[in-house]
Structure 1
C-alpha cells in the first residue's frame, strides 16, 4: 500500500526518513568528482518525479536487483542538492507481485479525457473541407488509434508527460489555433486544425506507457515525425479521390512542425499554416513546462514569488511567477 508520494517528499524536512514504492524512470552508474562510484536514479509516481542517489557507502547489491521500468520499494531520507529535494537511498528492492499498484505510479491528466475527446470530435465535425474531415474521421475512428490517442503522453519527460497528455496538448492547441485564425484571415483554418490534430500522431507508436514512459524500438529508429507521416500517408492512400495537392500540404504540416532541421524536422515550415503550427506547438509546450515547474517549486517549499531552481527543459534558466511576484508588492 502506497501512502507517501513524491509531492509529500518535496515538503519533508532534510534528513527525514521514509519507506514507499516508486517507479524507476532512469538508472545510471556515475562517479563523483573524487572518482567514487554512485548510482543515479530518477524515481516517479503519479504525483511527480524526484532524483535519487545510492552513494558509494550503500549496499553494492542494490544496483543489480532492479532495472528501469521496475516498481521498487525504497527506504531512504530526503536531502537537498542545488536547492532541490533529492532522495538518499539506504535500501531498495524490487516490489513483489501485487505489492504495488502501477496506477499509483504513472501521472495522468487532471482533465476529463471524455470531455477532451468530445472537444476533438466536435472540432472535426465542424470542418468544412470534406476531404480533411474524411481523413480525420478515418484515423480517429480506428479503435486502436483512438484508444492510444486518448492514453498517450505527449512526451517522455519534457511537456505534458502524463497519461492523456497528447490529447490535452492537442485540445489546447486547437483553442490557440482558432484565436490565431481569427487574427490572420490568410490562414486556412481546416488545414491548420488538421495539422494540429495530426502533427504528433506518431507518438502513439513512438512512445510506450504500460509501466513507464519510454521510447519503443520503432520510436528510437524512426521518430514520431516519420511514423506519423507514414501513418497519415497510408490512410490517405485508402481514401479514393483525395486531392494530391492537399496530401502534400498535410504531410508538410507533419514533417515541418518542429520548425528547424536541428530540432528533427526534415523540412522547414514553408506555408503559413505550418509556420503557425510550429510556433503554437512550441508555445504550448513551454508554457506547460513553466506551469509544471511552478508547481514543482511549490512542492519543494518555495514561496510562489521566489525564483525557481534552474530548469533543464528550458535551457537551465530560472523562472519567476510574475503574478505572484507582483501581487506580493501590491
Structure 2
C-alpha cells in the first residue's frame, strides 16, 4: 500500500505493509541479546517523523555504510505497534531515484509564515528602550553571522518545535506569554527590557547545539557543552564588548539564560533569581509543553479512539475530542 505522507499511517494499517518515500535522518546500529545486529532508524517527511527497525542489517551493511547524511529512500515496511505507538519494521529499502523528489518536501516547517515571524521579532525588539540591550540583540540575532541560522534552526531534536523555523517560533511564543505576564503584573520598563532580551537569547545557542535541518542531532560543541552554557558564554562575551553595559542588567539576563530550565536536575546550573527569570522559565515550559501536546494529537488524528496514546514526555494521554469544533 502506497502512502504519500507518514501522517496517513494509522492503526488501521496494523500488520499491513506500506510503501513510502522518506528522509532517512538517523541510523543507529545495535545488537540483540543473541549478537544479531539491527538498525534503529528515524525517518521523516514533511508531515511527521517516525521510528523504524531494520532487523537484517548485516545483509544491507554495505548499503548503509555508503549513505551520506540525510538521504531520501523508498521503503516497504510492516506497520506495528510498540508501547502504544506506531512503529515500522522495514522489509525493503533503496535509494530514491535522483531528482524524483525535492528535499524541502521532507522537512517539517512552521505553519507561521516567515513574514509573521520577522514581524513578531521586530515588534518585541521595538518594545526595548535600552540602547545597549538593543545593541546586544543586533550583534547576536540580527547580524549577518547569526540571523539566517536563528530563523531556520529547530528548537529541539524531537520534543517540541523540531521543524524548520522552530527556534524562532518557540522564541516568539515565549515572548508573547512572558510579555503578557510582565504587563499584567506591571513590571517596570527596565524589567521588561531585560525580560525581552533574556527571552530572545534563552535558546539562542541552539544554532550551535543542533545541526541544521535536514540533519538531526547534536554538533560536537552541542554534545560537549550544551546550549545553556554556550548561550550564557556567548552573551557574556558580547556584553563585555558593549560600552557602558549595566552590571545589574548583565547579572539578571545571564541568570535568566542559565536558569531557564528552572531546576538543577533539568540542566540549569542555577535557579531563576529574579521575577524576569521566573517568568521566562514558566513561559518556556508552556510553549514547549503545549506544542508537544498539540503536535502529538495531530499525529493521531486518523485514529478513531477517544484518547491518544501516552505522550512519553508528559506522562499521560489526551482527549482527542477537544479538537472538535
With normalisation by structure 2, the TM-score equals 0.88
Using a 3 Å threshold, how does the CA distance of structure 1 residues 28 and 189 change in structure 2: closer, same or farther?
same
Q: Which residue of 1 aligns with 2:313?
A: 313
Using a 3 Å threshold, how does the CA distance of structure 1 residues 222 and 65 change in structure 2: closer, same or farther?
same
Q: Which residue of 2 aligns with 1:80?
A: 81
- Confirm or deny that 1:246 pairs with 2:249: yes
Q: Which residue of 1 aligns with 2:28?
A: 28
Q: Which whole-Å CA distance do the structure 2 matches of 1:217 and 1:36 have between them?
A: 30
Give ranges in structure 1 of 5+ residues lacking alignment.
Answer: none
- Confirm or deny that 1:265 pairs with 2:268: yes
Where 2:298 maps in the other structure, the secondary structure is: helix
Range 214-223 or range 2-11, more displaced: 2-11
TM-superposed CA distance for 1:94, in Å, is 3.8
Q: Which residue of 1 aligns with 2:185?
A: 184
TM-superposed CA distance for 1:82, in Å, is 3.7
Q: Which residue of 2 aligns with 1:229?
A: 232
Q: Which whole-Å CA distance do the structure 1 matches of 2:57 and 2:209 have between them?
A: 36
Using a 3 Å threshold, how does the CA distance of structure 1 residues 265 and 73 change in structure 2: closer, same or farther?
same
Using a 3 Å threshold, how does the CA distance of structure 1 residues 59 and 269 change in structure 2: closer, same or farther?
closer
Q: Which residue of 1 aligns with 2:222?
A: 219
Where 1:294 maps in the other structure, the secondary structure is: helix
TM-superposed CA distance for 1:230, in Å, is 2.0
Aligned residues between the structures = 319
TM-superposed CA distance for 1:3, in Å, is 6.9
Using a 3 Å threshold, how does the CA distance of structure 1 residues 307 and 90 change in structure 2: closer, same or farther?
same
CA contact (8 A) 1:62 1:91 kept: no
Using a 3 Å threshold, how does the CA distance of structure 1 residues 15 and 148 change in structure 2: closer, same or farther?
same
TM-superposed CA distance for 1:322, in Å, is 6.6
TM-superposed CA distance for 1:7, in Å, is 1.2
Provide Cα deviations, 1:258-302, integer angstroms capped at 9, x if missing partner. Answer: 111111111111111111111110111011111011101214x23
Q: How does 1:133-144 map to 2 (within 5 A)?
A: 133-144=134-145
With normalisation by structure 1, the TM-score equals 0.87
Q: Which whole-Å CA distance do the structure 2 matches of 1:138 and 1:259 have between them?
A: 27
CA contact (8 A) 1:124 1:137 kept: no
TM-superposed CA distance for 1:100, in Å, is 4.0
Q: Which whole-Å CA distance do the structure 1 matches of 2:80 and 2:119 have between them?
A: 44
Q: Which residue of 1 aligns with 2:126?
A: 125
Where 2:272 maps in the other structure, the secondary structure is: coil
TM-superposed CA distance for 1:30, in Å, is 4.6
CA contact (8 A) 1:28 1:39 kept: yes
Using a 3 Å threshold, how does the CA distance of structure 1 residues 84 and 97 change in structure 2: closer, same or farther?
same
Using a 3 Å threshold, how does the CA distance of structure 1 residues 73 and 38 change in structure 2: closer, same or farther?
same
CA contact (8 A) 2:20 2:76 kept: yes
